[in-house]
Amino acid sequence: MNNEEWFIVKDLDGFVNSSRALVFNNFGSKSEEPDPISLTIDETDRAELDTLLSFEESKIIILDAIKKQKHKISKNIRYSLNEEIFANIITSLNDRMVSNILSGLVKKGLVDSAYDSESNDFVFWVKEKKQSE
């Protein structure tokens, strides 16, 4: 018997925005005692969040992870999740944000990347500055 607790998402767009804010606000946090969790974004950080972890890509990640149920009679759709699914969503959003940060650094020419067949993954390193003669 499964005693897992399930939660219903009443506002999907609000859930997407809160999840993005949670990941963004806690990115790189190293403290043992985390700051109070903030599920909102200051207007000064909004543009950066939209660049690093867009609403659209976040919604795709979330819709892929949460359970979708359709009422047989009313045809209304309900989304639900448990703690494990939520943890997977937050991890996936964090991974996407890291990927987008690295991609931005590569596009700016600050970081180089290559595929490493031994590790079956991409590797990144800081570009060396060319010295003027």
pTM above 0.85, yes or no: no
Residue 44 in contact with residue 24, Cβ under 8 Å?
no
Among residues of the chain, what percentage have pLDDT more than 70?
Answer: 88
pLDDT of 127: 75
How far is Cα 115 from Cα 55, in angstroms, rounded to an integer?
A: 29
Tokens of 91: 């991890």
**What is the predicted pLDDT for the residue at 1?**
41
- Contact predicate 81/6, CB 8 Å: yes
- Per-residue pLDDT at 6 exceeds 90: yes
